[in-house]
């Protein structure tokens, strides 16, 4: 049985008070708290194994390298990738998307091509493509969303053509919690010969994601949104694509050989094999170790259990929010299309005022645009307050949140 009260025991930060009230942490879409298992794994790495990886012949370096490579293996198993050659460690989702844009897009997208995004993307899945389109001259197109925040699949099919070279789409909206049917999107896009990048920042931490089952070409996600430290994230890419791609960053350890050619006066370079070909310079070794510990922790609880717990919390919160007469909330209805993220507004208050009021009671939420301004524009929202749940949240916390919102309605 999944027991959030037992889970909470592992999270030291949840025991503290904020503004003299017990902390209720509802800002999990921004970043998640860390269990002691992750904190201890990072501490143990620095106390016992710290050395640079893939360089020295000494024992400590072998141990650090072995841990760092095991972290890639753990990630590969977690998302059912073929092997670690398909797993590149990056700083997070943002870097992973920029990686694909520059490493693949820069060389493969031309003036007559199109890149297809949706209006529900996080800015990190819009800005890199818009920047690159100014360099390469391709067109960026946006699939529409419906007024309930779900993706408009008709608009998707209308927008796809043989000109579409890549569809880059979020799996779960970080604003509405809407779950996109990425399997359907991938199948349709492949029929047009387009690749698909899935932004898994809000899905991989919360539900089972299987890259083989989805047949996805690239998958991006961030460790810090799934209990791991900040500064570590993952780009999954199909081996056959990665093999053909040039590195995004150049530097040490990503090369097999660099030799000075006296005839031309230049250096001749040959690349290392994936994934190391793509990990230039000293990587975030302790971050990788922390990510491995986070995945082991998530697996010990079961991703299906975590997902159902969050869906139940979301359903409960949506039901209780109906008692708040000055509160409007948005997003899809129904369990199969929505997970534990709820955007809302309180009549007469700016979203930041709502967040500050809740914070004075120890309730931590996000306010503003959540880095998804086009979606707010499309849904006619000036901004929004947002609660987002994770494995350690409870119904009692939602009860307290509703109680405080009701107090706010009295102001
Ligand atoms: C859907 C989505 N994509 C991308 C990102 C960017 O993630 P990061 O800041 O970890 O790179 C976020 C972060 O909130 C997100 O929610």
Which residue from 202, 209, 374 has its CB within 8 A of the most atoms of ligand 1, so it is best to mutate? 202
Our CA angle for 363, 121, 112, nearest 5°, is: 170
In ligand 1, the atom with minimum distance to the C-alpha of 370 is 14
pLDDT-derived band at 43, boundaries 50, 70, 90: very high
Whole-number pLDDT of residue 226: 98
**How high is the pLDDT of residue 186?**
98
Two domains, one topology: 4-25+302-409 and 39-299 = no
pLDDT score of 154 more than 80: yes
Domain 39-299 CATH class label: alpha beta
Q: Is 133 in the pocket of ligand 1 (CB under 6 A)?
A: no
pLDDT at residue 403 is higher than 90: yes
Tokens at residue 139, please? Answer: 């067109």
Residue 100's nearest CA partner among 125, 119, 82 is 125
Tens of pLDDT along 268-278?
Answer: 999 999 999 99
To 5 degrees, how large is the angle CA 372–CA 126–CA 157?
A: 95
What angle in degrees, to the nearest 10, is found between the helix axes of 395-409 and 351-359? 120
Considering only CA atoms, which of 375, 318, 364, 378 is closest in space to residue 30? 364
At residue 252, the pLDDT reads 87
Reference 363, options 325, 394, 391; nearest CA is 394
The answer to whether 211 touches 186, Cβ cutoff 8 Å, is no
* Residue 362, token pair as written in the block: 């120890």
- Tens-digit pLDDT profile for residues 270-308: 999 999 999 999 999 999 999 999 999 999 999 999 999
Query: Is residue 411 helix, strand or coil?
Result: coil
What whole-number percentage of the chain has pLDDT above 90?
Answer: 96
C-beta 174 within 6 A of ligand 1: yes
> How many angstroms is it from 267 CA to the middle of ligand 1?
38
pLDDT score, position 308: 96
Residues catalogued as catalytic: 371
Fold category of 4-25+302-409 in CATH: 3.90.1150
- The yes-or-no verdict on residue 334 having pLDDT over 90 is no
Q: Where do the domains of the chain lie?
A: 4-25+302-409, 39-299
Q: Mean of the per-residue pLDDT values for the chain?
A: 96
End-to-end Cα separation, the chain, in angstroms: 41
Nearest-CA residue for atom 7 of ligand 1 = 93
Distance 365 CA to ligand 1 centre (A): 16
Q: Is the CB of 121 under 6 A from ligand 1?
A: no
Within 8 A by CB and 6+ apart from 346, the residues are 324, 326, 327, 354, 385, 405, 408, 409
Handedness of CA 118, 113, 234, 297 (dihedral sign): positive
């Amino acid at each position: 049985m999944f027991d959030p009260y037992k889970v909470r025991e592992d999270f030291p930060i949840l025991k503290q008070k904020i503004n003299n009230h017990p902390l209720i942490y509802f800002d999990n879409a921004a970043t998640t708290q860390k269990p002691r298992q992750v904190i201890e794994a990072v501490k143990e790495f620095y106390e016992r194994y710290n050395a640079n990886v893939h360089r020295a012949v000494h024992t400590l370096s072998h141990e650090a390298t072995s841990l760092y490579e095991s972290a890639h293996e753990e990630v590969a198993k977690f998302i059912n990738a073929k092997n670690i050659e398909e797993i590149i460690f990056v700083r997070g989702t943002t870097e992973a998307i920029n990686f694909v844009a520059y490493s693949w897009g820069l060389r493969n997208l031309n003036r007559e091509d199109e890149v297809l995004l949706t209006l529900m993307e996080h800015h990190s899945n819009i800005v890199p493509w818009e920047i690159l389109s100014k360099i390469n001259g391709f067109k960026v197109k946006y699939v529409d969303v419906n007024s309930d925040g779900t993706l408009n699949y008709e608009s998707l099919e209308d927008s796809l053509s043989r000109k579409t070279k890549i569809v880059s789409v979020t799996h779960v909206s970080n604003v509405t919690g809407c779950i996109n049917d990425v399997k359907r999107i991938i199948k349709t896009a492949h029929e047009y010969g387009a690749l698909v990048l899935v932004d898994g920042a809000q899905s991989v931490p919360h539900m089972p994601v299987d890259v083989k089952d989805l047949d996805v070409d690239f998958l991006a996600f961030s460790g810090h949104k799934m209990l791991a430290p900040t500064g570590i994230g993952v780009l999954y890419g199909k081996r056959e694509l990665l093999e053909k791609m040039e590195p995004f960053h150049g530097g040490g350890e990503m090369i097999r050989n660099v030799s000075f050619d006296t005839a031309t006066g230049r250096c001749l370079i040959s690349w290392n094999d994936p994934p190391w070909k793509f990990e230039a310079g000293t990587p975030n070794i302790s971050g990788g170790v922390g990510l491995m510990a986070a995945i082991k922790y998530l697996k010990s609880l079961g991703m299906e259990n975590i997902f159902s717990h969050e869906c139940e919390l979301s359903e409960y919160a949506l039901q209780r929010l109906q008692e708040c007469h000055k509160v409007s909330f948005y997003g899809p209805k129904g369990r199969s299309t929505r997970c534990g993220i709820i955007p809302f507004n309180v009549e007469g208050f700016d979203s930041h005022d709502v967040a500050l009021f809740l914070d004075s009671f120890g309730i931590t939420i996000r306010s503003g645009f959540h880095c998804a301004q086009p979606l707010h524009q499309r849904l006619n929202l000036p901004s929004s307050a947002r609660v987002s749940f994770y494995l350690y949240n409870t119904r009692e916390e939602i009860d307290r949140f509703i109680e405080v919102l009701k107090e706010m309605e009295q102001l």
